[in-house]
Structure 1
Amino acid sequence: MIATKDRSHLSAVARLEVALARIHSPQAKNVFTAVFADSARWEAEAADRRAATGSSRGPLDGRIVSVKALFDVAGTVTSSGSAVLRRLPPAVEDAEVVKRLRAAGAIVIGKTQMTEFAFSALGTNSHDGMPGNPRDRARVPGGSSSGAVVSVIDGMAELAIGSDTGGSIRIPAALSGAVGFKPTSGFVPTAGAFSLSSSLDTIGPIASNVADCFVADQVLSGEGAPPRLRAAPPGTFRLIVARGRLFDRCEHEVLNAFENAIDRLRSGGLQIKDGSIEAALDDVARIDRIGTFPSIEVGATLRSLGLSDLDGVDPRTRARIEAGAGVLGTEYVHMVRLRQAAIRSFEQSFGNNEVFVLPTVPIRAPLLSSIADDTAFHQLNGLVLRNPRVANMLDCPSISLPLPAGGLLTGLMLIGRRNADRHLLEIASTVDTMLRSYSHPV
């Protein structure tokens, strides 16, 4: 990827041409569904003119950003990774988050590949193909924001904007070695984005560092030109290791990377104790016994787009949607009420200066060959969703930080209190700096 020190002396136009060259390289196969070279060049030239006259729009001005294929971009079809949506008319205007990116001076370079309807977590797509994991092309990149993470790791964009309904930003960040941030629901508008689950959808950034995630999040949430991110002083917060069932079935390499990270953070002066979120997981399990929000709510989205049947939908995706169709309206209302109670209960279970920490995913990126069988696919898909989806169900901000793990990558996940997004990013900045000081760059 383009290093920070290089950005300090390369113009936006020069950096854009490097990114475009990488997009047209062999390793970029299946990363983008659309590339906006002409408009991106115009945006880069405008950013350079602003820089020359001292009229910058802020820290995102002139930065190269990719957006997931579920966001409306005027003049393009929002296919959301699905062949059946390609027949939709082109969007007449940009999604709200794309408007905010452009207003902040960002260079929107293109739309990135994703899993169909954002409805799986490994990164596969039977319609449009899948980019290989940038650390090992024989492995999955993670999803559903698969092209997003590859665009950042392989230097085709400096930041990527994705969506996270059950981990779709944090999972690819963990499996491919980036930083991925999911905000509290409602902070970033979802207007103009395909909705997998109106209850759980969130929009956030993938980047190479926490500071870039903070800058992007401030723009996406409408805060305007953000101040500089201030790292939280070590003595002002406490990490609580969420021991329990979310550590089950973790690969040895993942557990070893996590425990080594905790040891390094403790030796660096951070306050860390073991704790539990088992009561909250019981609350989530009660909801899951009825159904899942994405399986139910994506059906409403598809009907609103005029899709009357599921012919042409990937069978692996179709099976999950059909399962949701069998949930009664009264059961759905019960799910909503159970979730509201679970959110309130969890929010009261830890303090303002406490953050839960656990592995983002229990395994490293699976080999493509290991998910050819449908049963294996569904098992691994559910496994990588297990940990990150908790933050979506409980409506908390959450971030995944990269950890080296036996020649591949995994993630250390922080879960903060609902609505305490900025404080979580300040804590994440401190944690990430400490971790990187002990390890080689990823």
Structure 2
Amino acid sequence: MKPLQDLARELATGKTTSRALVEECLAAIEASPEGNRAFIAVHTESARTTADAVDAMRKAGTTVSAYAGIPMSVKDLYGVRGETTAAGSKVLRDAAPEAEDCPTIARCRQAGFVFMGRTNMTEFAYSGLGLNPHYGTPRSPWDRETGRIPGGSSSGSAVSVADGMAAVTLGTDTGGSCRIPAAFCGITGYKPSAHRVPLDGILPLSFSLDSAGPLGQSVDCCSIVDGILSGNGAATPDAIDSKSLTFAIPQTLVLDGLDDTVARAFELTVAQLRDAGVTVVEIPFVELGDIPAANAKGGFAAAEAYAWHKELLAAKGADYDPRVGGRIVKGAEQGAADYIDTMMERKRLIQAANKVTVPFDAVITPTVPIVPPAITAVDDDEAYGPLNLLCLRNPSFWNFLDRCSISLPCHRAGDAPVGLMLTGERGGDAKLFRVAKTVETLLAQGR
């Protein structure tokens, strides 16, 4: 499906209709075996009804949002009026439907997006791989014959956009859950500075680390939706003169364990940026090396997830994905002093990291060190844990440091998907979008 700006233009000029876009998405869902795996629920009739209403308003000359009538999918964490928020689980399937829209959904509804359905995800958002034993695991668009992981936790969200089942989608990001699936599915995923977008009514994983962001076909798509989610208004960023930009590449941890494909794509991308006049500097950034130790006992995610889940685990623990429930239970091992130690260490590292990165327009790294592995490669529990940590490693640094961060596809057409991650300053979301737009434009010229 085309980017948001193109769809908005075609709707405004009458070249297409909302109903036609919805039918295109429904056909894509129906035609692919990934449809049933990408979506937990498809809202066929309500999507058609909403589309017809938007088309009728446009035909009558009623002023509507530029994005009214464009199909959007929604991760199964968001509270939507009349729908059950199951978070990709069995244990919440029978929960009461939501009485009202959460603020982010209300803003998207006001902007006129058509909700195509609820997308699949890692149960309770607690993994970067995207596997789900309850609803199936959607496959990355790359090498479907083998069947490769989509990345998580916003797995179905990413696949729905990559496969044209929705124009844009809503995800969440606690340790990379927008950026990892974006990288593995060849699209763009955005993590805002935490709490810039309201989290009320979104089922939590970690109160300290959660953020809500979009995945789409482009930087513009993500910027538009982020503006709506944050209440700042839909906008597309202007590019910056590439010769004025300075990027940093950390030499601590983020380049460890790159597979040959990712290493080569990242090398070519950096060379292309330098050829365009971008100054790229290698820096030690030793503070990143302190983050794994700060999280050694499970960090915020384990402790805060356990606080939310402890009663549900006691009642229905056998119905959890063992790989998820087992990790959440470990949060019980943290004491109050451990949790406070993590809080204080996070504060120290945020302050230290701010001093390191302030001279730069962005920090750049590979989003994930590897291309998406085969789903069968993570059937083994012994392989699952290390692979999950490897996929989460680079993105999760920036959740811990409360930075805004975006993943752009940087691979050559036809190659395995590789993500380039750009990270800005805490609260520097508007600037990061401008930087990302510049990089996206430069990379497009070299493909």
Quickly name the TM-score band, shorter chain normalised.
Answer: over 0.9
Which residue of 208, 228, 242 maps to 1:199? 208
Matched, 1:294 2:301: yes
Per the TM alignment, residue 236 of structure 1 is displaced from its structure 2 partner at its CA by 3.3
Matched, 1:164 2:198: no
Q: Distance in 1 between matches of 2:170 and 2:221?
A: 11
Letter in 2 for 1:248: D
Q: Distance in 2 between matches of 1:150 and 1:163?
A: 15
Matched, 1:256 2:264: yes
Partner of 2:105: 98
Which residue of 264, 277, 301 maps to 1:269? 277
Which residue of 439, 442, 446 maps to 1:438? 446
What TM-score results when the alignment is normalised by the length of structure 2? Answer: 0.93
Q: Distance in 1 between matches of 2:311 and 2:98?
A: 15
Q: Distance in 2 between matches of 1:318 and 1:384?
A: 19
Matched, 1:26 2:35: no
Number of aligned pairs? 437
Matched, 1:401 2:408: yes
Per-residue CA deviations over 1:12-63 (Å, capped at 9, x if unaligned) read 1111111111112233131111112222223222333444466554443222
Would you say the 8 A contact 2:245–2:361 is kept in 1? Answer: yes
1:188-337 map, 5 Å: 188-224=197-233, 226-279=234-287, 281-303=288-310, 308=315, 310-337=317-344
Alignment CA distance shift 1:388-1:87 (3 Å): same
Letter in 2 for 1:431: V
Per the TM alignment, residue 228 of structure 1 is displaced from its structure 2 partner at its CA by 3.4
Which residue of 13, 20, 27 maps to 1:14? 20
SS in 1 for 2:407: strand
SS in 2 for 1:126: coil
Which residue of 127, 135, 160 maps to 1:128? 135
SS in 2 for 1:246: coil
Per the TM alignment, residue 74 of structure 1 is displaced from its structure 2 partner at its CA by 1.7
State the percentage of identical aligned residues: 38
Alignment CA distance shift 1:57-1:422 (3 Å): farther
Partner of 2:163: 154
Letter in 2 for 1:11: T
Per the TM alignment, residue 306 of structure 1 is displaced from its structure 2 partner at its CA by 8.5
Aligned-residue Cα RMSD (Å) equals 1.9
Gaps of 5+ in 1: none
1:59-78 map, 5 Å: 59-78=66-85
Which residue of 150, 170, 175 maps to 1:141? 150
SS in 1 for 2:55: helix
Gaps of 5+ in 2: none
Matched, 1:184 2:190: no
SS in 1 for 2:37: coil
1:41-60 map, 5 Å: 41-52=48-59, 55-60=62-67
Q: Distance in 2 between matches of 1:304 and 1:233?
A: 54
Alignment CA distance shift 1:232-1:272 (3 Å): same
Q: Distance in 2 between matches of 1:153 and 1:343?
A: 34
Letter in 2 for 1:21: A
Would you say the 8 A contact 1:149–1:178 is kept in 2? Answer: yes
Would you say the 8 A contact 1:196–1:294 is kept in 2? Answer: yes
Would you say the 8 A contact 2:73–2:117 is kept in 1? Answer: yes
Letter in 2 for 1:273: V
Letter in 2 for 1:257: A
Would you say the 8 A contact 1:148–1:160 is kept in 2? Answer: yes
Letter in 1 for 2:193: T
